[in-house]
Amino acid sequence: MGKIFLVLLIFVGSVYAKPKILIENLWVRAVPPMSKNTALFMVIKNVGDEPDVLIDVKTDISKMISIHKTENKNGVMKMVHVKRLSIPPGGSVELKPGGYHIMIMGLKRGIKTGENVKFTLIFEKSGEIVIKAPVKMR
Ligand SMILES: [Cu+2]
């Protein structure tokens, strides 16, 4: 009886010690038909109790996609590539205009307001999370 209880306890412990990623408020910025670049924004929440890291993003909509951060360097706005975006347990990271964003470069076709674009977010521990983000004007 005592042994069974201990085994159960270890099992429950290992289930709880995990990140749990939730994606909220996701949207892709609508751009004119001629424009080749846009960005994906969202709030990445981690309701688990281990940190996780966004390490890559994939999509069929463009030739290139990467994690960016807009920084103000002596009054000049610059975008820098971010290799790893950590999401702390019990915390969240907001990707928004002027800050972190998923840069979409070389659109293969025009995107329409209201359409949903598919992306695969790749996390170090949680693995692949497929999302569909609506195209919005904002
Ligand atoms: Cu960018």
* Residue 48 vs residues 21, 26, 116, 126, 128: alpha-carbon distances, Å: 7, 20, 28, 11, 16
Ligand 1 centroid to residue 17 C-alpha, Å: 33
Ligand 1 centroid to residue 36 C-alpha, Å: 12
Ligand 1 centroid to residue 42 C-alpha, Å: 14
Q: pLDDT-based confidence at 1, cuts 50/70/90?
A: low
Ligand 1 centroid to residue 30 C-alpha, Å: 15
Ligand 1 centroid to residue 105 C-alpha, Å: 9
**What is the DSSP code string of 52-113?**
EEEEEEE-SSEEEEEEEEEEEETTEEEEEE-S-EEE-TT-EEEE-TTSEEEEEEEESS---T
Ligand 1 centroid to residue 103 C-alpha, Å: 4
Query: CB of 19 within 8 A of CB of 121?
Result: no
pLDDT at 57 over 90: yes
Percent of the chain having pLDDT more than 70? 88
Ligand 1 centroid to residue 70 C-alpha, Å: 7
Q: Which helix (H) or strand (E) holds 23?
A: strand 21-29
- Domains of the chain in start order, with CATH, are 18-136 (2.60.40.1890)
Ligand 1 centroid to residue 101 C-alpha, Å: 6
Residues 18-43: tens digit of each pLDDT:
899 999 999 999 999 999 999 999 99
Residues 59-107: tens digit of each pLDDT:
999 999 999 999 998 999 999 999 999 999 999 999 999 999 999 999 9
Ligand 1 centroid to residue 11 C-alpha, Å: 42
Ligand 1 centroid to residue 125 C-alpha, Å: 25
Residues 103-133: tens digit of each pLDDT:
999 999 999 999 999 999 999 999 999 999 9
Q: pLDDT-based confidence at 138, cuts 50/70/90?
A: confident
Query: CB of 67 within 8 A of CB of 54?
Result: yes
CA–CA gap between residue 126 and residue 77 (Å, rounded): 32
